[in-house]
Amino acid sequence: MTLAAIKLGKKNRKNIFLNKVKKLLPEGGNLNACLTCGACASGCPATGLGDMDPRKFLRMAALGMDEEIIKSDWPWMCTMCQRCVYVCPMQIDIPQLIFNARTLRPRDERPKGIRDSCDMALRNESTSAMGTSPQDFEFVVQDVLEEYQEAQPEFADMQAPIDKKGAQFFLNQNSREPVTEPDEMVPLWKILHLAGVDWTYGSRGWAGENYCMFLADNDSWETVTSQTVGQANKLKSKTFLNTE
C-alpha cells in the first residue's frame, strides 16, 4: 500500500516569508538551493544562541514557519557577517534572510537600544547615534585641533577641515570619538597630514555609524545615508571614505 505524501502546512506558499525575501534578492538569494550540509552552522559564532543556527533558520523559513521566525530573537544575535555565504557551496544569502526577518516585527518591538540609536540619528543633520549636533561636532574638532597644533609644534600646520569644497576624500567619523574620547581622533589626522591627503569632514552627515540600517528601518536608513552622501556630493568630494 502506498502512503499518501505528507503535506507540510496549510499556507499559501507564495505568501510565506521566504518567498517574499526571494523576490527582493538577485537570483532569489539562492534561498531554495540549500543542500542542508551544515557548513554555515558549523562555523557560525551565533550557532547555539537562542537554540538556533543558520541552517535551522533557513529550514524554518523553507517550511513556512513564519510565526516561529517572528518570535525568534536570533535575527538580532546574527551580525550578518557573511561567513555563511562564503562557506556555502550554493552561496545562499542567509544574511539577507536575517536582515529581512528583522523587519517582521513592528518597529516599536525591535530592540530598544538599536531603535534609540536610530532615533538619535534622525534628530538632527549629524546622523549621529549619540544625537550630537553639527555645532557640537565642529566645536570639538576645532578645539582639539588647536590644542594639538600648539602642544605639538611639528603639527602646527595640521588641519581637520569641515565642509572643505572639492576635497579628494570625504571622511566620516564614529561618534564616540568626538563625544567621549576626542584625543583618539588625532592619530588619524596626523597620518592624513603626513601623507599629504586632501580630505574633509562634513558638518552634516559626519557620523559614520548607521543604526537605522541595523534596525532594518529602511526609510530611516535611506534618510541617514542620503544625508551623508548628499553632503559629500554638495562639497564635490571625489571619494567617500567610510571609516566605520
Partner 1 sequence: MVKSVVGEENFIDMQPNRSNNYCCGGGGGFLQSGFKEQRLEYGKMKDSQIKDTGADYCIAGCHNCHAQIHELSEHYGGNYPVVHLWTLICLSLGILGPNEREYLGDDLKEVNVFHPETAF
CB 4 within 8 A of CB 54: no
3-state secondary structure of 85: helix
Q: What angle do CA 72, 77, 83 make, to 5 degrees?
A: 120
* Under rule CB under 8 A, residue 39 binds partner 1: no
Q: How far apart are CA 59 and CA 18, in angstroms?
A: 10
Helix, strand, coil fractions of the chain, as percent rounded to 5: 50, 5, 45
> What phi-psi label fits residue 196: left (phi over 0), alpha (psi between -120 and 50 degrees) or beta?
left
Count residues contacting partner 1 (CB under 8 A)? Answer: 46
Q: For residues 43 and 166, which CB has a smaller minimum distance to partner 1 in the complex? A: 43
Q: How far apart are CA 228 and CA 212, in angstroms?
A: 14
Q: For residues 66 and 217, which CB has a smaller minimum distance to partner 1 in the complex? A: 217
* Under rule CB under 8 A, residue 177 binds partner 1: yes
Instruction: Give residue for cell 566645536.
Output: 139
Q: For residues 154 and 222, which CB has a smaller minimum distance to partner 1 in the complex? A: 154
* Minimum distance, C-beta of residue 127 to partner 1, in the bound complex (Å): 15
Q: Which of 87, 90, 140, 229 binds partner 1 (CB under 8 A)?
A: 87
* Under rule CB under 8 A, residue 70 binds partner 1: no
How far apart, in Å, are the Cα atoms of 146 and each of 74, 140, 164? 47, 10, 18
* Under rule CB under 8 A, residue 228 binds partner 1: no
Backbone angles phi, psi at 183, to 5 degrees: -65, -25
Closest alpha carbon to 166 in 108, 233, 223: 233
Q: Which of 194, 222, 233, 236 binds partner 1 (CB under 8 A)?
A: 194
Q: For residues 64 and 211, which CB has a smaller minimum distance to partner 1 in the complex? A: 211
Contact pattern from residue 115 through residue 154 relative to partner 1, giving x for each residue in contact according to CB under 8 A and a dash for the rest:
-xx-----------x------------------x--xx-x
Q: Which of 30, 176, 197, 234 binds partner 1 (CB under 8 A)?
A: 176
Q: How far apart are CA 242 and CA 32, in angstroms?
A: 34
Span interacting with partner 1, options 14-22, 82-90, 161-169, 230-238, rule CB under 8 A: 82-90
Cell of 31: 534561498
Query: Can you give the binding site for partner 1, defined by CB under 8 A?
Result: 43, 45-46, 48-50, 73, 76-81, 83, 86-87, 111-114, 116-117, 129, 148, 151-152, 154-155, 174, 176-177, 181, 183-184, 186-188, 190-191, 194, 209, 211, 214-215, 243-244
